[in-house]
Amino acid sequence: MLVAVTSDDKSLEAPVARRFGKARFVFLADTETRVVRIIDNSAHADLHLGSGARTAEMLERLGVSWAATGEIGEEAFEILRAGGVKVVPHATGTCREILDRLAAGGLEAVGLKVADPADTDE
C-alpha cells in the first residue's frame, strides 16, 4: 500500500504540513517494502490558486491509498475521495510517526467530509 504525508521539510522528523496544497514536500511510503520517496511539491505549492487540487491529482496519479495532512480544502479532498484515497486531515506529529501509524492501520480515515474546508485557502 502506498501512503502519503505532507511536509514543509525533507526530514522525516519534521511535523506534518499545516496546509495540504502548500506543502513543499510529500513523503510517499510503500508499507510493504518500507521504501520512502520524497516528492518535491514546490511547483504546486507556489501556485496562487489550485495548489491543493494539483497536489491531490498528483497523489491520485501516483496510486496513493492514504494521505495524511493538516488542513485540506474541499476541492482537494473531493478529488482524493473520488479517486479512492482515504484522507486523514488535521494529522499531527512528525512525518515518521504518521507514516508508522498509517502503515500499522492506526489512523482513522475520513470518508465523507472535511471538518471545515472553508477554513483553508486552498
Share of the chain above pLDDT 90, in %: 66
Check which CATH number belongs to the domain holding 53 and give it: 3.30.420.130
Show the domain range for 85: 2-119
- Tell me the per-residue pLDDT of 29-52, one tens digit each, with 9 for 90 and over: 998 888 999 999 999 999 989 999
Burial class (CB in 10 A: 0-12, 13-18, 19+), 36: middle
Phi, psi torsion values for 79, nearest 5 degrees: -60, -45
Residue 103, phi-psi category: left (phi > 0), alpha (psi -120 to 50), beta (remainder): alpha
Number of domains in the chain: 1
pLDDT exceeds 70 at position 111: no
> In sequence order, what E strands does 23-111 have?
25-30, 36-40, 66-68, 86-88
